[in-house]
Chains A and B, each alone.
Chain A
Amino acid sequence: MAEPQHQGGYKGYVITWIWLLVITVLEIAVVLVGLPKAMLASLLLLMSLMKAALIVAYFMHLRYERVAFIYTVVTPMVVLAVILFAFVAPDAIHVFTSRR
């Protein structure tokens, strides 16, 4: 009821699908090219977050729900990401720099 019907039928899903495949290929390409570890890690993290956003927004339709519901779902995820990052990132950076 809250969701508007997609006038283009399945077109939006096909575009999302293609983007997911493109990013996956890019992820594998980035690994095969053999970049420095820190750069590789940040690129991979960025690309997986992009994929996650595509899946949640379009496949799971979160974009078309009410704003209050979007906040309800996204806020805990952001808090989770921030806390995990705050705990792990200092150690990760330390390990990266001390191993050189």
Chain B
Amino acid sequence: MAHSVTVEHNQGAAADWSGGQSPFGLNWPKVMMWLFLISDTLTFAGLLMGYGAMRLSLGTWPKQSDIFHLWLVGLMTFILICSSATMAIAVAAARTGDKRIVMRFLLLTALGGLMFLGMQVYEWTNFIHEGARLFENPWGVPQFSATFFITTGFHGGHVTVGVIYLLITALRWARGTIQPESVEIAGLYWHFVDLVWVFIFTLLYLL
């Protein structure tokens, strides 16, 4: 008996891993988005680890709280978390077929993304006015501004793409040319942008 249970279990696992029409009981577009997000995690891990290695090897780093406005970064974090929550609601509404809520919350999420980007533009502008350049700044550690611009720039690029993606999804949803799963896949991407910000916020601004 125990043996046959094991065999069945193996067959289940084999079926999950064997690809085919529906790997893991999911459709391919969703699996591919997850695959992309895993690879994108490596990109950001590389950026953050580069920062960590540099900061450790230099042994000195400007005090971030003297340079960045913590309230502004806190507000940016707050807005990104809220936009992630509104996205989750849009995805849930798409699944239950609540069409107007989907539209409203997709647009609300895109608005959150735009607000985040606006604040990032404000932050970058301030930073540049204070004398920060890609490879030089008044705080004595050139790598400091390089890390800041490259890492937040990469993330901001992801947010920008995300807002465009959300608006296209909203448009296609309004036209009725996409399935609820497409909203869910857009949601996966958007939550990932929030996920990356969790680590950027902690490592770049707080630590």
A residues adjacent to B (C-beta < 8 A): 1-3, 5-6, 9-10, 13-14, 16-17, 20-21, 24, 27-28, 31-32, 40-41, 44-45, 47-48, 51-52, 55-56, 58-61, 65-66, 68-69, 72-73, 76-77, 80, 84, 87-88, 91-92, 95, 99
**Which single member of B13, B25, B34, B203 contacts A1 (CB below 8 Å)?**
B25
Q: Is the CB of A80 within 8 A of B191?
A: no
- B2 contacts across to A, CB distance below 8 A: none
- B34 contacts across to A, CB distance below 8 A: 73
Q: Is the CB of B49 within 8 A of A56?
A: no
Q: Is the CB of B45 within 8 A of A80?
A: yes
CA distance A31 to B184 in the complex (A): 35
Q: A1-B25, A60-B188 are in contact. Are A28 and B89 (CB under 8 A)?
A: no
Interface residue? B116 (CB, 8 A): no
CA distance A14 to B198 in the complex (A): 18
**Which single member of B16, B53, B96, B203 contacts A69 (CB below 8 Å)?**
B16
Q: Is the CB of A68 within 8 A of B13?
A: yes
Q: Is the CB of B45 within 8 A of A95?
A: no
Nearest residue in B to A18 (C-beta to C-beta)? B85
- B195 contacts across to A, CB distance below 8 A: 52, 55-56, 60
Q: Is the CB of A95 within 8 A of B206?
A: no
Q: Is the CB of A95 within 8 A of B207?
A: no
Shortest Cβ distance from A93 into chain B, in angstroms?
10
Shortest Cβ distance from B86 into chain A, in angstroms?
9
Q: Is the CB of B59 within 8 A of A59?
A: no
Q: What is the predominant secondary structure among interface residues of chain B facing chain A?
A: helix
Q: Is the CB of A13 within 8 A of B25?
A: no
Q: What is the predominant secondary structure among interface residues of chain A facing chain B?
A: helix
- A87 contacts across to B, CB distance below 8 A: 49
CA distance A45 to B42 in the complex (A): 18
Q: Is the CB of A59 within 8 A of B77?
A: no
Shortest Cβ distance from A31 into chain B, in angstroms?
5
Q: Is the CB of A28 within 8 A of B206?
A: yes
18 residue pairs of the A-B complex, CB under 8 angstroms, read: A10-B92, A17-B84, A20-B84, A24-B77, A27-B206, A28-B74, A44-B202, A48-B202, A55-B191, A58-B88, A59-B84, A59-B191, A59-B194, A60-B195, A68-B16, A68-B17, A80-B41, A95-B56
Q: Is the CB of B42 within 8 A of A28?
A: no
Name the 9 nearest CB pairs between A and B, nearest first: A68-B16, A69-B24, A17-B85, A48-B202, A13-B88, A2-B25, A59-B191, A51-B198, A20-B81
- A99 contacts across to B, CB distance below 8 A: 59
Q: A13-B85, A52-B199, A69-B26 are in contact. Are A88 and B56 (CB under 8 A)?
A: yes
